[in-house]
Amino acid sequence: MTSHASRVLVLNSGSSSVKYQLLDMTDGTRLALGLVERIGEETSRLSHTPLVSGGAKREHEGPIADHEAALKTVATELAADGLGLDSPELAAIGHRVVHGGLKFTVPTVIDDAVLAEIERLVPVAPLHNPANITGIRTAQALRPDLPQVAVFDTAFHTTMPEYAARYAIDVATADAHRIRRYGFHGTSHAYVSRQTAALLGKDPAETNVIVLHLGNGASASAVAGGRCMDTSMGLTPLEGLVMGTRSGDIDPAVTFHLKRVAGMSADEIDVLLNKKSGLLGLCGDNDMREIRRRIEEGDERAQLAFDIYIHRLKKYIGAYTAVLGHVDAVAFTAGVGENAAPVREAAIAGLEELGLAVDAGLNAVRSDAPRLISPEYSRVAVAVVPTDEELEIAQQTYALVNA
Ligand SMILES: Nc1ncnc2c1ncn2[C@@H]1O[C@H](COP(=O)(O)OP(=O)(O)O)[C@@H](O)[C@H]1O
Ligand SMILES: CC(=O)OP(=O)(O)O
Ligand SMILES: [Mg+2]
């Protein structure tokens, strides 16, 4: 590595998308960012924005078969801006890895053993770890000389108290199969809880925050003084809130029932609960924008799906208020949390007894900045705090390779 290398490329590979950012870590400037969506479909879409020398956003539509092809397209786009992966200024590539199990509690330089462990965890993150692995392998092939760093979604949650991390099942069985609650979106929960403290002008070590990360995948966390006390996702990213295509919490007996009575296999049940449930299963759409549009037109199925989504959210806000005892702020983040004012309004409605309220005028403001949406009199602050998993991953990656 040359001493002046100060750029980090971050790859956030999801089940059907790749988000990426190229940053200069001397001052944290973003040089380029983009998103490849609907990978594996005929209508894949790439949107790439160079942020240097006045470059404009470029968009392409057309089939991108898999994550390897997606990453190669990203490399071509970056090269077209003079920001190619062959640049000597690149110090490292940082990868979001969703499941790190018990082994990975800190950012880790990837070698064959680390990659094998991420692979071993595929059964507990079937939608995510395979995409992360392809991202790592493709990046390694393009720049075998560079450090590749894994930043784990699970890492922030490893400090959860044992009473929150354990399921109430036979201890020997649980331990033999490493069955416990790991939690996900940890990079986002860590970043957003810190940003929320900053918004309140408080020391993160003395601030209690309920973070609601509402994207396609969604999770809540209870963070006390920077430490995760509980989170809604469990062994896998299926538990907890209602999500775009995932059921969140259900009676586990539903699965035996589907097997015994409906004759479904374990794999079929897995697909049902992970890919055909949640908002999609309830009303046929998983995009909150489309659901709100249908509700405006009087669609009752969309309304019921929305109500179920909100009911679950409210239950977690109540539960985490009890877990924390004292709450300084509830922070909404990710695609839905940052953009869907009706979700924020409905989730907080009726929670005055918990010290929570939303100001309709503030809630309607559109902005990319962290902001309060609660009225002056609200005992607990309600905030919209945009997440930036890529920045957080870049910082952790750069810190590790310079350590
Ligand atoms: N303006 C908006 N109003 C409502 N929902 C939105 C809006 N913009 C984006 N979303 C929601 O955000 C989701 C994507 O969020 P994101 O955090 O990018 O998720 P993920 O990282 O899981 O792909 C979309 O599925 C969509 O439902
Ligand atoms: C862990 C998880 O659910 O991630 P995403 O929201 O990116 O699907
Ligand atoms: Mg996400």
pLDDT value for 2: 41
The verdict on residue 369 lying in a domain is yes
Mean pLDDT of 53-69: 90
Which has the higher per-residue pLDDT, 403 or 115? Answer: 115
The verdict on residue 219 lying in a domain is yes
Atom of ligand 1 nearest to the CA of 244: 25
pLDDT value for 16: 82
Mean pLDDT of 324-333: 98
The verdict on residue 162 lying in a domain is no
Catalytic residues: 153
Q: Is 216 annotated as a binding residue?
A: yes
Residues 109 and 243 in one domain: no
The share of the chain scoring above pLDDT 90, in percent, equals 94
Confidence band, pLDDT 50/70/90 cuts, at residue 38: confident
Whole-number mean pLDDT of the chain? Answer: 95
Q: Is 62 annotated as a binding residue?
A: no
Atom of ligand 2 nearest to the CA of 213: 6
Cα separation values, 373 from 214, 243, 332, Å? 17, 23, 10
Mean pLDDT of 371-391: 97
Q: How far is ligand 3, taken at its centre, from the CA of residue 216, in Å?
A: 7
Q: In the structure, which protein residues have their CB atom closer than 6 angstroms to any atom of ligand 2?
A: 14, 98, 128, 153, 184-185, 215-217, 237
Q: How far is ligand 2, taken at its centre, from the CA of residue 281, in Å?
A: 18
Q: How far is ligand 2, taken at its centre, from the CA of residue 101, in Å?
A: 15
Confidence band, pLDDT 50/70/90 cuts, at residue 3: low
Say how many domains are in the chain.
2
Nearest CA to ligand 2 atom 6: 217
Residue 242: give the domain boundaries.
202-384
Nearest CA to ligand 1 atom 24: 287
Pick from 49-53, 325-329, 335-339, 343-347: least confident? 49-53
Nearest CA to ligand 1 atom 12: 335
The verdict on residue 45 lying in a domain is yes
Q: Is the pLDDT of residue 274 over 70?
A: yes
Residue 76's H or E segment, with its range, is helix 67-80
Mean pLDDT of 286-309: 97
Nearest CA to ligand 2 atom 5: 217
> Strands of 18-24's sheet, edge to edge?
58-61, 45-50, 29-37, 18-24, 7-13, 90-97, 148-152, 108-109
Mean pLDDT of 254-281: 97
Q: pLDDT tens-digit profile of 176-189?
A: 999 999 999 999 99
Q: How far is ligand 3, taken at its centre, from the CA of residue 377, in Å?
A: 33
Q: Is 290 annotated as a binding residue?
A: no
Q: How far is ligand 2, taken at its centre, from the CA of residue 128, in Å?
A: 7
Residues 104 and 247 in one domain: no
The verdict on residue 197 lying in a domain is no
pLDDT value for 378: 95
Q: Is 215 annotated as a binding residue?
A: yes
The verdict on residue 108 lying in a domain is yes
Q: pLDDT tens-digit profile of 203-250?
A: 999 999 999 999 999 999 999 999 999 999 999 999 999 999 999 999
pLDDT value for 105: 94
Indicate which ligand has the atom closest to the C-alpha of 244.
Answer: 1
CATH number of domain containing 120: 3.30.420.40
Pairwise CA distance, residues 218 & 305, whole Å: 15
Closest residue by Cα to residue 244 from 221, 274, 266, 270: 274
Q: Is the pLDDT of residue 1 over 50?
A: no
Residues 131 and 254 in one domain: no
Nearest CA to ligand 1 atom 7: 339
Q: Is 14 annotated as a binding residue?
A: no
Closest residue by Cα to residue 75 from 130, 138, 148: 138
The verdict on residue 187 lying in a domain is no
Residues 51 and 145 in one domain: yes
Q: pLDDT tens-digit profile of 77-113?
A: 999 999 999 999 999 999 999 999 999 999 999 999 9
Q: Is the pLDDT of residue 162 over 70?
A: yes
Residues 114 and 215 in one domain: no
